[in-house]
Amino acid sequence: MLALIDYGAGNLRSVENALRAAGARDVVVTADPEMVSAAERIVLPGVGAFGACMDALTALPDMVETLTDRVVGAGTPFLGICVGMQLMADSGEEHGTHAGLGWIGGTVRRMPDAAGLKIPHMGWNDVTPMRPHPLVVPGEAYFLHSYAFDVADPAALLAVTDHGGPITAAIGRDTMIGVQFHPEKSQAYGLAFLSRFLEWKP
């Protein structure tokens, strides 16, 4: 069973539909930590501001503790999408400084304003792997964000995209991975990525 976390901050139906299109047979959209405890894979989506998303996740009784136990402790394969990926950081600086889950060292900061660059970073852009990883391959994916994950440990940086310089596109360690792009909006590339996640045996 795959648990898709419902904390009021994600594009749930689109992500659920994309997971099913990629081959997932048993997707449960849930805010119940007991369902998360029983899951074989966990997906945390996220749309909106870092602090508001973290507050919404924390507001679900026992959810953060259960996620940490399952992902960090038990090694359950985990995928964070967009803000769901950003929440894996130590902290985020959107509308003040907010603590994150602290699973992967780093800070989520506003992307730098530069001449000719539009913020938010929106649309199709290249995904360039920084190191070999079974889930991350070169290609084009759909991005929509104004803040980016500044990763503390280069070993956790799996892929970048370019928007006035390298911007984090994917992070990961052990059995967890996070992507800044939206697989559910990335057509063939996104479905192939989700399919690899569904088959991943880290």
Condensed to tens digits (0 to 9), the pLDDT of residues 70-116 reads 999 999 999 999 999 999 999 999 999 999 999 999 999 998 877 67
Q: Quick one: pLDDT at residue 55? A: 96
Task: Select which of 16, 53, 94, 184 is catalytic.
Answer: 184
Decide if 53 is catalytic: no
The domain defined by 2-199 folds into Rossmann fold (3.40.50)
Q: Quick one: pLDDT at residue 11? A: 81
Decide if 121 is catalytic: no
Decide if 82 is catalytic: yes
Alpha-helix runs per DSSP H in the chain: 12-21, 33-38, 50-58, 63-68, 83-86, 187-199
Task: Select which of 16, 82, 121, 163 is catalytic.
Answer: 82
- Round to whole Å and give the CA distance between 122 and 63: 31
pTM beyond 0.95: the answer is yes
Task: Select which of 121, 145, 163, 182 is catalytic.
Answer: 182
